């Protein structure tokens, strides 16, 4: 993040900023501020000692200001504002107690990106960067190209899209030679916003793109970062009004920018202005992240509101009731559209132009970083609150192309990426292709959007959502390309030497009556529209994969593959687990070349037939007629020391007398957990060749009584899985040892013995009080191989002194263990808890944890921002990201307020 990020621009010509921005102090500390003035021509003046400069504190009981010297008094937070000739800049400062060490601040290594382009008039295009950039370079017209989207060639990664694409007009256009214009000038609006003034008007409705030169645009960091990807943004010529951006002014005011002048006047139809009692009122017109409270009033910039910002008919000042932190927040405006996260009925905001236009539904929101203190730890509050800006209640985190990415949203149509500190929050949309190949390998019905032919190519914007319409002609309600109606896995990794993002969906139905959820989507795209490619695995799942599918007569194809549970990259191959109800469950797929859209069965591309593996897919007698399966079986995949690992519910010896539903283990061979954890015995394992004949695989399930006398929770659904639904949510490597978290139950949860998929899924759930969340550790050097985990290498970590067999850290409300993540030198574990999630981590210096005393509690926010008060009861996912020398842990979380789910949030924690 550049040092100018919190600068508030009051005039188009110049602005002031802190250098560096004050962030954190210890109580009793004194700090001399340095304040600069950047002129429109790029010149920088030091105004620190200018007598017209005034520095003030929002709370003198926490921080005082004398001239440009500030002094911290007691712990807390305050805003420091510097004003100079009608220009303002504000920064939030956190004051630690006198005994606290300051949180280290990493160097700015985040590159700026292009986040949007919009036609604000027929002859002006506004380009917005993710952060403030060097004004001299950014106002150089040679650093921009406006092109037709259909003419784009090259890639962002090597800047070839800028150097190779013909501009509109002068160099001609492959598809449109008569609609040309040139860029006459570039005007700075603020540090990250620039207007491209055109020589002629755009053609209304034409599809354009602005491409920016990566080699020239730089940010304002001490060591400047060159422009990253995305370096381009699409826009429509002279299009209707849309939301462009939002910027905080102070902790209770935000400026929202539109592409065109907006209608004003409180109470008018189509107005952008409101009060709490007006009709329409502010709740009707605007929706902010819940943590900002209610919108109190909105006025167009008129030279008075928002601290006297100059009048601007394209901008409004939004005042809200609760103060901002330094988190990322969202704003959504009324667009006369329902089912998009903000139901408006017939209410909408219009432009004041003639003719008037209404807000474009797909461009009705913006995100911004608050003016308060940026959250560094859980205790500071959420880093992102409703990151999609649409009330989505779930999101999985991953790291992709140096950013943290969360997705998909509730409609299956968006992801969001952000920088280490939560800044540069950018919405990403999807472009998912339909498979038009009707050959023998494509066995499932494709979404024939609006009645189109199956052979007609079409790109879908969603992977699907609950309640979507198959073969729908309504874009906002269409299912995925393969009629997916739910999410699957959102995962990234390096394969083929390239960082790749994967996305799968889930299916509750299909035209043939079976889900046959055969498609995996992948992208290496870096802009704001992620162009995915597909992999159709139908040919592999539909026919015997060389030697495994016809084991002992089991010739039935895989067709109940409704969802996907886990992915791993091992030895440059992609492994995928499908939680299914087929007789051949679980289904584990391996793919060699992800760039092949229609892979065929081979020795590498295959379903591994692990349904035949004892105590992973069948019970121990190795006979076809004694299968005794859970209703749904999947698995969690992980690569460790040149072996691929898989864990699932396993099995048990079930009968209606001594081991029925609700029974406790008899501590004998008649009612025990059987299996559930296996690994390969070599780098590239083959599939099973017969029942119990799996020579490249070995059962390594713990032999400890704490494992076998507690029963792994079964999957009770296959769509939209969360960590708390899974028996083995994750593995993690920590200091050469393999850790595993397991959700188990003291009593039997299998409802009955099944082979075929049951008509009704009614597998039991663990009764409250019988939960046994467990943290297991494998020390490969303990026995046998020094690199591979074996059954007797496992030990239970942090067992509770009261609740035998549970790693619940003394709280029986820690019912599901859902977080296991290494973050630098610390290992984090966390729990779903109805009273608010709980997270623990290894203490400093602990490299081989064994007991609960080796861990420390990680505090969350307090008061009204606490996990409990914010209804944060579930952990969904976690990623770790190294920034300089600082390891950052991110978790996505959510929960319910009564019967209603709350929007997903992201929290951050460093190893301080």
Q: Write out the H or E segment, with its range, that includes residue 542.
A: helix 538-542
Give the CA count within 13 Å in the CB-facing half-sphere of 358. Answer: 13
Within 8 A by CB and 6+ apart from 181, the residues are 146, 168, 169, 198, 199, 200, 201, 202
Residues counted in the chain: 912
Measured distance CA(417)–CA(160) in Å, rounded: 23
pLDDT for 756: 56
Non-local (6+) Cβ contacts of 183 within 8 A are 141, 144, 146, 196, 197, 198, 199
Structural Rg of the chain based on CA atoms: 29
CB 389 within 8 A of CB 332: yes
| Ordered strands of the 44-46 beta sheet | 15-18, 35-38, 44-46
pLDDT at 9 over 60: no
Question: Which residues does residue 901 pair with via DSSP β-bridges, in sequence order?
Answer: 896
CA–CA separation, 191 vs 92, rounded Å?
A: 19
- Between CA 524 and CA 529 the distance in angstroms is 11
Surface-to-core class of residue 26, CB atoms within 10 Å of its CB (0-12 exposed, 13-18 middle, 19+ buried): middle
Q: Which H or E element spans position 164?
A: helix 160-164
pTM for the whole structure: 0.76
pLDDT of residue 708: 92
Could you count the other beta carbons within 10 Å of the beta carbon of residue 846? 18
Helix or strand or coil: residue 523? strand
709: pLDDT strictly greater than 50:
yes
Parallel, antiparallel, or unpaired: how do β-strands 114-121 and 124-129 relate?
antiparallel
Q: Let me know: does 211 contact 231? Beta carbons within 8 Å.
A: yes
* Spatial separation of the C-alpha atoms in residues 576 and 590, rounded to whole Å: 7
Is the preceding peptide bond at 20 cis, omega within 30 degrees of 0? yes
pLDDT band, residue 297 (cuts 50/70/90): very high
Per residue in 481-491, pLDDT tens? Answer: 888 999 999 99
C-alpha to C-alpha distance for 450 and 458, rounded to whole angstroms: 11
Contacts of 74 by beta carbon, 8 Å cutoff, 6+ apart = 27, 61, 62, 95
Confidence at residue 107, expressed as pLDDT on a 0 to 100 scale: 67
pLDDT band at residue 44 using 50, 70 and 90 as cut-offs = confident
Instruction: Summarize pLDDT for 732-767 with one digit per residue, the tens.
Output: 999 999 999 999 999 888 776 555 555 566 777 899
Does the pLDDT value for residue 912 go beyond 80?
no
pLDDT value, residue 545: 40
Mapped onto helix, strand or coil, the DSSP state of residue 695 is: coil
Most confident segment among 9-13, 266-270, 745-749: 266-270
Is the pLDDT assigned to residue 860 strictly greater than 90? yes
Q: Check: CB of residue 267 under 8 Å from CB of residue 277.
A: no
Close Cβ partners of 279 (under 8 Å, ≥ 6 residues apart): 267
- Region 177-192: mean pLDDT is 81
- Where is pLDDT greater, at 261 or 580? 261
pLDDT tens digits along 49-69: 888 888 888 778 888 888 888
Of the candidate ranges 17-31, 592-606, 815-829, the one whose mean pLDDT is the lowest = 17-31
Alpha-carbon gap, residue 695 to 677, rounded angstroms: 16
Helix, strand or coil, per DSSP, at residue 335: strand
Angle at 382 between CA 109 and CA 879, to 5 degrees: 55
pLDDT tens track for 426-444: 889 898 988 888 664 566 6
- How remote is the C-alpha of 449 from its chain's centroid? 28
Q: Which helix (H) or strand (E) holds 737?
A: strand 737-745
Other Cβ atoms less than 10 A from the Cβ of 705: the count is 14
Tokens 């679980």 sit on residue: 586
Angle (CA) 328-331-337 rounded to 5° is: 145
pLDDT at 442: 62
What is the secondary structure of 35-79 as a DSSP string?
EEEE-TTS-EEE-TT-TT-EEEES-TTTEEEETTEEEE-SSEEEE
Banded model confidence at residue 454, pLDDT cuts 50, 70, 90: low
Closest C-alpha to 114, from 46, 180, 44, 193: 193
Angle at 530 (CA atoms; ends 194, 145), nearest 5 degrees: 35
Percentage above 70 pLDDT, the chain: 86
Q: Which two tokens stand for residue 496?
A: 């083929």
Mean pLDDT of the chain: 85
Residue 625, SS3 per DSSP: helix
Two structure tokens written together for 367: 């995100």
| Number of helices and strands in the chain (H, E) | 6, 61
What is the reported pLDDT for 477?
67
The Cα 249–Cα 371 span in angstroms is: 7
Torsion angle, alpha carbons of 837, 722, 423, 822, to 10? 70
Q: Please tell me which of 30-39, 57-66, 416-425 the model is most confident about, judged by mean pLDDT.
A: 416-425
Token pair 């100059």 in the structure block, residue: 310
Task: Tell me: pLDDT of 524 over 60.
Answer: yes
Least confident of 183-197, 541-555, 891-905: 541-555
Tokens 């978290």 belong to residue: 741
Tokens of 394: 């779930």
Q: What is the mean pLDDT of residues 344-348?
A: 88
Per-residue pLDDT, 359: 85
For residue 853, give every residue at least 6 positions away whose Cβ sits within 8 Å of its Cβ, in sequence order, or none.
none
Q: Give percent of the chain above pLDDT 90.
A: 47
If DSSP codes are grouped into helix, strand and coil, which group holds residue 161? Answer: helix
Residue 706, Ramachandran bin (φ over 0: left; ψ between -120 and 50: alpha; else beta):
alpha
Please state whether beta strands 69-72 and 606-607 pair in parallel, antiparallel, or not at all (unpaired). unpaired
């Amino acid at each position: 993040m550049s040092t100018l990020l919190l600068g508030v621009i009051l005039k188009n010509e110049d602005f002031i900023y802190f250098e560096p921005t004050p962030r954190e102090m210890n109580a009793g500390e004194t700090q001399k501020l340095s304040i600069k003035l950047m002129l429109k021509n790029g010149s920088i003046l030091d105004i620190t000692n200018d007598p017209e400069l005034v520095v003030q504190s929002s709370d003198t009981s926490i921080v005082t200001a004398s001239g440009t010297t500030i002094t911290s008094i007691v712990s807390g937070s305050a805003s420091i504002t510097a004003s100079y000739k009608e220009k303002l800049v504000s920064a939030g400062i956190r004051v630690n107690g006198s005994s606290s060490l300051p949180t280290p601040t990493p160097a700015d290594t985040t590159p700026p990106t292009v986040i949007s382009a919009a036609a604000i008039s027929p002859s002006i295009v506004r380009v917005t960067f993710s952060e403030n950039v060097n004004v001299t370079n950014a106002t150089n017209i040679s650093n921009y190209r406006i092109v037709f989207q259909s003419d784009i060639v090259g890639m962002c990664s090597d800047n070839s899209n800028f150097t190779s694409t013909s501009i509109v007009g002068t160099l001609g256009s492959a598809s449109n030679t008569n609609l040309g214009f040139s860029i006459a000038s570039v005007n700075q609006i603020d540090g990250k916003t620039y207007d491209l003034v055109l020589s002629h008007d755009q053609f209304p409705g034409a599809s354009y793109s602005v491409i920016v030169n990566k080699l020239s645009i730089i940010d304002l960091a001490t060591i400047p970062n060159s422009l990253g990807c995305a370096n381009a943004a699409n826009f429509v010529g002279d299009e209707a009004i849309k939301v462009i951006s939002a910027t905080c002014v102070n902790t209770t005011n935000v400026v929202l920018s539109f592409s065109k002048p907006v209608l004003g006047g409180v109470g008018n139809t189509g107005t952008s202005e409101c009060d709490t009692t007006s009709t329409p009122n502010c709740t009707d017109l605007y929706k902010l992240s819940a943590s900002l409270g209610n919108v109190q009033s909105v006025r167009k910039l008129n030279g008075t509101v928002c601290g006297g910002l100059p009048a601007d008919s394209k901008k409004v000042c939004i005042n809200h009731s609760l103060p901002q932190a330094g988190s990322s927040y969202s704003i959504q405006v009324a667009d006369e559209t329902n089912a998009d996260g903000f139901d408006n009925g017939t209410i909408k905001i219009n432009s004041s132009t003639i003719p008037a236009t209404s807000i474009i539904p797909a461009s009705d929101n913006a995100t911004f970083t608050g003016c308060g203190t940026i959250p560094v730890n859980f205790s500071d509050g959420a880093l992102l609150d409703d990151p999609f800006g649409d009330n989505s209640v779930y999101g999985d985190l991953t790291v992709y192309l140096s950013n943290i990415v969360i997705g998909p949203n509730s409609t299956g149509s968006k992801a969001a990426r952000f920088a280490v500190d939560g800044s540069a929050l950018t919405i990403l949309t999807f472009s998912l292709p339909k498979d038009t190949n009707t050959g023998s390998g494509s066995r499932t019905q494709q979404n024939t959007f609006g009645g189109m032919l199956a052979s007609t190519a079409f790109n879908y914007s969603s992977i699907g959502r609950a309640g979507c319409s198959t073969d729908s002609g309504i874009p906002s309600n269409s299912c995925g390309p393969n009629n997916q109606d739910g999410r699957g896995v959102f995962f990234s990794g390096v394969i083929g030497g390239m960082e790749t993002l994967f996305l799968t969906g889930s299916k509750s139905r299909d035209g043939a009556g079976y889900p046959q959820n055969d498609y995996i989507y992948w992208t290496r795209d870096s802009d704001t529209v992620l162009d995915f490619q597909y992999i159709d695995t139908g040919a592999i799942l539909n026919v015997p994969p060389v030697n495994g599918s016809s084991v002992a007569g089991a010739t039935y194809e895989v067709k109940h593959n409704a969802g996907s549970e886990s992915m791993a990259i091992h030895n440059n191959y992609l492994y995928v687990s499908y939680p299914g109800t087929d007789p051949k469950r679980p289904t584990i797929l391996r793919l060699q070349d992800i760039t092949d859209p229609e892979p065929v069965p081979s020795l590498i591309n295959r379903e591994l037939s692990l349904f035949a593996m004892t105590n992973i897919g069948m019970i121990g007698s190795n006979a076809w007629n004694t299968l005794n399966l859970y209703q749904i079986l999947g698995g969690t995949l992980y690569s460790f020391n040149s072996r691929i690992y898989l864990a699932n519910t396993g099995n048990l010896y079930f009968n209606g007398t001594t081991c029925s539903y609700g029974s406790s283990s008899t501590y004998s061979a008649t009612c025990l957990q059987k299996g559930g954890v296996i690994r390969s015995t070599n780098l590239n394992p083959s599939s099973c060749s017969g029942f119990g004949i799996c020579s490249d695989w070995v059962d390594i399930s713990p032999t400890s009584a704490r494992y076998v006398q507690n029963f792994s929770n079964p999957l009770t659904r296959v769509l939209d899985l969360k960590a708390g639904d899974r028996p083995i949510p994750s593995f993690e490597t920590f200091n050469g040892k393999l850790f595993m978290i397991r959700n188990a139950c003291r009593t039997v949860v299998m409802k009955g013995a099944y082979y075929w998929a049951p008509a009704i899924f009614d597998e039991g759930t663990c009764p409250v009080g019988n939960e046994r969340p467990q943290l297991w550790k494998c020390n490969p050097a303990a026995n046998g191989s020094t690199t591979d985990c074996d059954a007797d290498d496992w030990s239970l970590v942090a067992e509770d002194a009261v609740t035998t067999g549970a790693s619940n850290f003394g709280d029986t409300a820690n019912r599901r263990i859902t977080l296991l993540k290494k973050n630098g030198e610390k290992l984090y574990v966390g729990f779903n808890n109805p009273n608010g999630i709980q997270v623990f981590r290894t203490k400093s210096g602990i490299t081989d944890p064994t007991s609960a005393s080796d861990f420390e509690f990680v505090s969350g926010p307090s008061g009204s921002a606490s996990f409990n008060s914010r209804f944060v009861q579930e952990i969904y996912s976690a990623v770790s990201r190294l920034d300089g020398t600082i390891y950052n842990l991110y978790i996505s979380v959510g929960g319910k307020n009564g019967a209603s789910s709350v929007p997903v949030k992201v929290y951050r924690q460093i190893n301080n």
